[in-house]
């Protein structure tokens, strides 16, 4: 169980560094990736071996996702009052996320398979992999793009909010959940309780919207940009 212990030590060390330095670039997940991936490659450890020893941590993801429903429940009155704004923001954000990612990929010369893998980058990994497979992409590549998008959101989201003077929890939360899924939601929950609630709501709604619209939007993007 050496890799389980390694993961825990690296993560809690990264959390300590992040908490004390208070800088966006020292994101705990980013630090873990920078340390653990090169270490696995240097020691020539197969991913299957690493995953097998960390399967208990992976199993905790499901109750962690369910736990996000609690802060959501506490914001139920605001959600009822602002449901039109929430649905509109999630719809526009989901469509723009697909358009920008896939459109830029095509303009830069990516083939259709890679473009289809990039299309669902802003939703949570299981949905992104299923959507990518549905529109002709590669699920494993889609998973990587989801991590990259999530890291960008988690690292750059709140500095941008501060720079632009955005303070409303609903605005920050919906933005983080829409463009950077679970990683953005985790960062939002660290920053503010309400931010995390609205982010988790956006994560769910945008996942549903993307899974429904992706097969319709992808051919349109190909027609416009290819």
| Span 70-129, pLDDT tens digits | 766 777 777 888 889 999 999 999 999 999 989 999 999 889 999 999 998 988 888 888
**Res 209: pLDDT:** 92
Residues of the chain with pLDDT below 50 are none
Do residues 161 and 153 lie in contact, with contact meaning Cβ atoms separated by under 8 Å?
A: no
**Res 60: pLDDT:** 78
Distance from C-alpha of 98 to C-alpha of 96, rounded to nearest angstrom: 5
Distance from C-alpha of 36 to C-alpha of 185, rounded to nearest angstrom: 23
Show the tokens assigned to 163: 């720079």
**Res 225: pLDDT:** 80
Q: Is 219 exposed, middle or buried (0-12, 13-18, 19+ CB in 10 A)?
A: exposed
**Res 226: pLDDT:** 65
**Res 99: pLDDT:** 92
**Res 116: pLDDT:** 92
User: What's the predicted TM-score (pTM) here?
Assistant: 0.80
DSSP letter for each residue of 102-130: HHHHHHTT--HHHHHHHTTTTS-HHHHHH
Q: Which of 63, 118, 86 is nearest to 202 (CA)?
A: 86
């Amino acid at each position: 169980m050496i890799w389980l212990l390694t993961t825990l030590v690296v993560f809690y060390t990264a959390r300590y560094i992040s908490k004390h330095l208070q800088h966006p670039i020292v994101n705990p997940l980013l630090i873990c990736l920078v340390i653990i991936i090169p270490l696995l490659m240097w020691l020539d450890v197969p991913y299957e071996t690493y995953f097998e020893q960390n399967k208990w941590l992976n199993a905790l993801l499901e109750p962690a996702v369910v736990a996000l429903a609690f802060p959501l429940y506490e914001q139920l009155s605001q959600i009822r009052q602002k449901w039109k704004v929430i649905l509109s923001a999630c719809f526009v954000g989901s469509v723009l996320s697909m358009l920008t990612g896939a459109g830029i990929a095509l303009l830069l010369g990516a083939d259709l398979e890679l473009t289809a893998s990039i299309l669902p980058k802003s939703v949570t990994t299981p949905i992104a992999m299923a959507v990518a497979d549905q529109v002709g992409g590669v699920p494993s590549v889609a998973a990587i793009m989801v991590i990259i998008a999530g890291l960008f959101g988690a690292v750059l989201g709140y500095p941008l909010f501060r720079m632009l003077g955005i303070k409303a929890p609903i605005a920050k939360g919906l933005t983080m959940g829409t463009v950077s899924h679970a990683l953005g939601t985790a960062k939002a929950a660290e920053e503010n309780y309400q931010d995390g609630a609205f982010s988790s709501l956006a994560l769910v709604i945008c996942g549903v919207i993307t899974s429904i619209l992706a097969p319709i939007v992808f051919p349109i993007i190909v027609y416009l940009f290819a």
